[in-house]
Structure 1
Amino acid sequence: MLGDAAAKPLLELAKHFGVASQLASTVNPGFWGEQDARLFLSHLAKMKKETKSLKDELAKYSISAFVAHEDIEPTKEWQSEIESALSTMDGLVALLSPGFKESNWCDQEVGVAIGRKLPIISVRLGLDPYGFIGKYQALQGVEKTPAQIAQNLFDLLLINPTIGPKITGALVGKLILAETYAESKRLIALIEQSKFLNSKHISAMKEAAKNNSQVYDSWGVPEKINKIAKEIEN
């Protein structure tokens, strides 16, 4: 019965029993990727250029990032959109640059993630984690490019039991629809790092290896799919 139930009443039931935050929502705002993991990037306005670049890099890993100045439509009430992103995110990254601690908005964004008990990762950009976020995972971001930080975040999130399965499913979904050989190779290299692959993923990838020429004709990709399949099925 639970397996066939709609998401909304299940979420309300979970809230009632205290196993889901009151801020959790089944709404799917348009600024998130349809299947991607949803990551809120909490940052200061002075970091908007770097944060936009990080958002673009994360997209390569099937991680949809919300950047307030980038994703809020001019006609939308900005606070309402931020609240929508906070209530539907899967995790939060705090870009800790000097001044972050003094920002009421950044602190509140982090507070929502803590209240919802979501994964939080701090990126040191001249400021060390402090207060409640001091106990969460942190990585050094100084002198790293957005591409390097994105890869570091992917490595951490892919092993996270909350977000890792969602990233895995999104990557498999993109492999099935891959339009170039290079894209197939790039995606399978990411997929084979996941510890959350299951029989449904294997079945979907095998179908792609039969029906999508950009997968079955991509050198080494069908072989990797078969190798993954043997590991999972055994």
Structure 2
Amino acid sequence: MNPIEQNALYILKLLVDKDRKMSTKEIKKLTHFEDRDINDAIDYLGNRGYVDVLRGLGGVAIVNANSSGRYQYHEIFSDSRGSIIDPDNPSSFEELYQEPPTDELKVFISYSTKDTDKARVIKNNLEDFDIYCFMASEDTEASEEWMEKIFDEITNSDIFIALLSYNFKNSDWCPQELGIACYLKYYMNKQIQIVPLGLNNDEHSRPFGFLSIRIQGQEYNVFNLIRPIFREHTNYMIPKSIDALGKIYGYRKTEFIMGLLEPYYDKLTAGDVNKLVLNAINNDQVYDAGDCKDEYIPKFIDINKDKIEPGNLKKLQRLLDED
């Protein structure tokens, strides 16, 4: 499934969850997608008859209603793993996100040593989600057979992140690392997710070679990194995102994480619900963030109030009521 299809499916799920109509502004707020990605996904859905694009109103709706008010669809959405996605049946989306659980996600970060600082930012942010990250220049012992170590790390990784730049393309090693990952994914059918991030707004920061015909690149930032990982490894990322809310600093980051979790509020276990509540109480970056305070947490409470321990529910509501 390519990035446009992934984004389209994610937006389609939001539309089903949100009574079939949303403005593009609402979609952007919930997904943090770029405008171009939203428009591409909406066009994809519109061309296949899932939605009517409300151009004049700046929104999209799942429609094709007949005179009796029943919704009809032109085709069935099938994902790359063969799961059948019926847009009129929200429960059918659950299969898509039920990948086998894993003890630890492993990431290989491919980067030029001239871009080490940016690679380290990626590593630090992923470690907030208990994701193991390998950086060759920092995680290889002097005594190790380093070429064999790099090959083993790529082969055993779940996610390959390429920090594309002029330095990357002109490195002796980075294009070869990317070539190994592409070979494993596209010719050996290994379940490895490739995430290219462009460090600069130039031709050197876009996917090239085999990758250019298969994957769209994204601008280098933490949100463009976490979003596709969350979509691909949802079962792993939901509890790790809840844990991260207890330690992450920054209003925008906590709003982003709550936005990722929002479609799954009604699927959380009682344990997950109460852990999220405690993390929100103990981290003012959660309960005091604008979108969390005004939208995400009130909705979360409304959906899960029967699961929340009463004393903690009162504490959280009191914090939300403070100016």
Shorter-chain TM band: 0.5 to 0.7
Matched, 1:92 2:185: no
Q: What is the aligned partner in structure 2 of residue 131 from structure 1? A: 209
Q: Distance in 2 between matches of 1:209 and 1:53?
A: 25
Q: TM-score, normalised by structure 2?
A: 0.45
TM-score normalised over the length of structure 1: 0.60
1:38 CA drift (Å)? 2.7
Task: Provide the rounded CA distance (Å) in 1 between the counterparts of 2:216 and 2:130.
Answer: 21
Give deviations 1:57-116, integer Å, cap 9, x for gaps. Answer: 333455443211122234433233323321222211211122533545323322332212
Are positions 1:165 and 2:244 aligned together?
no
Matched residues, percent identical? 22
Distance 1:171 1:35 in 2: 15
Report the equivalent of 1:226: 301
Query: 1:156 aligned to 2:228?
Result: yes
**Equivalent runs, 1:56-67 vs 2, <5 Å:** 56-67=124-135
Contact 1:35/1:170 (<8 A) preserved? no
Instruction: Note the C-alpha offset of 1:52.
Output: 1.6
Shift of 1:199: 7.3
**Cα RMSD after superposing both structures:** 3.8
In structure 2, the residue matched to 1:8 is none
1:169-226 deviations in whole A, cap 9, x for unaligned? 3223455xx479x79x96585144147848774322234368x5x5556646975543
> Could you tell me which amino acid in structure 2 is paired with residue 118 of structure 1?
I
Give the equivalent residue in structure 2 for 1:51. 119
Match of 2:34 in 1: none
Alpha carbons of structure 1 residues 192 and 140: separation in structure 2 relative to 1, 3 Å = closer
Q: Which runs of 5+ in 1 are unaligned?
A: 1-18, 20-33, 142-148
Structure 2: 5+ residue runs without aligned partners? 1-80, 82-101, 185-189, 288-292, 306-323
Indicate how the Cα distance of structure 1 residues 225 and 202 shifts in structure 2: closer, same or farther if over 3 A, else same. farther
Higher RCO, 1 vs 2 (CA within 8 Å, ≥6 residues apart): 1
Residues 242 and 275, structure 2, Cα contact 8 Å, conserved in 1: no
- What CA deviation, in whole Å up to 9, does each residue of 1:134-167 have, x standing for no partner? 02130134xxxxxxx11221123323xx333322
| 1:1-234 paired onto structure 2 within 5 Å | 37-114=105-182, 115=184, 116-124=190-198, 125=200, 126=202, 127=204, 128-134=206-212, 135-141=214-220, 149-159=221-231, 162-174=232-244, 178=246, 190-194=257-261, 197=264, 201-208=268-275, 212=278, 214-215=279-280, 219=287, 223=298, 225-227=300-302, 229=304
Residues 226 and 190 of structure 1, relative CA distance in 2, 3 Å threshold:
same
Provide the rounded CA distance (Å) in 2 between the counterparts of 1:88 and 1:75: 21
State the aligned residue count.
184
- Separation in structure 1 between the aligned mates of residue 276 and residue 175 of structure 2, nearest angstrom: 47
Whether the 8 Å CA contact 2:162–2:197 is kept in 1: the answer is yes
Contact 1:208 1:216 in 2 (8 A): no
